[in-house]
Structure 1
Amino acid sequence: MLTSDDLHRVSNETFVTAIERHAVIDSTNNRALALAKHASHAEPCLLVLADRQTAGRGRGANTWWSEAGALTFSLLLDCRPLGLPVERWPVASLLTGLAVCDAFDDVLGGADSRVKWPNDVYLAGRKACGILIESADYRKGLLAIGIGVNVNNSASGAPHPLCETAISLSDHTHRPLAEAEVLVRLLQRLEQRLAWAAAGGGDLQAQWRPRCLLTGRQIEALAGESTVAGRCLGIDPDGALLLEAPGGPVRLLSGVVTRVD
């Protein structure tokens, strides 16, 4: 569990400008969205942190399992000081995934981490992190970035079938890790990735390619009410997933990957 000294470190070493901590909360993203709705003035970067989350949300109807030892938090981010325009928000999930991989490299001394488009991070072939990006108020430039990382909560304690597909950092290293170190590194790396995007973003495809879990694999994805299948070709410059399907090329700007062969 994070201490008051840990939170001071977060304030001093990252771009977080305010912290709201909860012992128990339903969803940190719900709280961030509520704050955005009612706040007349937003902090540049508010961290909503929970020791325990009872109803964490993923994309669509998905839920996020977490126990003691997990990092569960949301950032309510004012994108205007960062210079991140609304039209770049669709790639925020991808940038966050890349930042998580960067942080895993930092704390694990190099790691086999990959991003499953658009919002999951895998470590050694198992899910270690989930990401949920929501527009809090585009008129105010507010974006909610929800992140859940399995740090010291062993996946062996997860309900079936998650126990067979999830992993924590401590499962990977066979030792506990300092949650504060993971949080600080992740926030630092996220700030770097967002600043990179605000400055023009360069070649997102080149940044994504070595981290993509899906490239070259046969997948199925749900886009709206339609299911599409094909071989993943990576992403395009806008972050859309590219598939080589039997009926021709497919470009997905949003969706959920439901099967990977």
Structure 2
Amino acid sequence: MSSGVEFVKDGHVARVVLDRPKALNAITPQMDDALLDAWTEINNDPDIWVAVLSATGEKAFCAGGDVSGAAEGPSRRMALGGGLTGVGGPLLTLRKPLVAAVQGYVIGGGFELAMCADVIVAADTAQFGMPETKVGIIGEAGIMHRAIRQLPHHIALAMILTGERIPAAAAERYGLVNEVVGYPDLAEAADRWAQKITAASPLAVQAAKEAVLSRVGWPLEVALATRYEPIEAYASTKDRLEGRAAFAERRAPRWQGR
């Protein structure tokens, strides 16, 4: 029986695919288990430098958590999305950069899962929404807390209070997504972002992500005064020496992730 999630390692890129298109890629407990395994392997494998999250089928990226009640519960307690969202269980922090490629319906928990990514590439068919108030179902409000931080205040509140969706073009205008492309070009665009990230020093990228996100909600003076262990540890890595050598020799660096 398929878990509903595909995981493939492609060089330094990990590809995680939601594969339940007939159910709009709604996340079952089995999918949560598989996603947790994927995020854990991505975190632990030094040869994985970036992850790309996508979904099969043109109609939807993800319609949120499966509410049919037909699937068995997860074998481990975790938040939705394999722990990535922090909704309904312990939060899992993905240390590697995550690119999300979304299309069609990106709603509810699916919208929240997309907002967990560091870079979002959207097909022009994408529609983002929080239908909770419209259908009269309010549980954990994680999606709303993320939306009010990632969208302009009044745009987020209008979406929350009305349950109405916004199209990809508006999401790009509001800074929610990095790029909008035609659906046939979605996978290629996500790969292009992944390659941009792998062209940078993977350890520097991971240290920068940890430093920025760990202090994003703090006052600037606190963020500036904080010592960041991953950044300090990077000073003694082979990649730092390689970066200096490549600059001096005017060549492209050959990163090792070590």
- Do both share a fold (TM > 0.5)? no
Query: Which protein is richer in helix relative to its size?
Result: 2
Which has more radius of gyration? Answer: 2
Query: Which protein is richer in strand relative to its size?
Result: 1
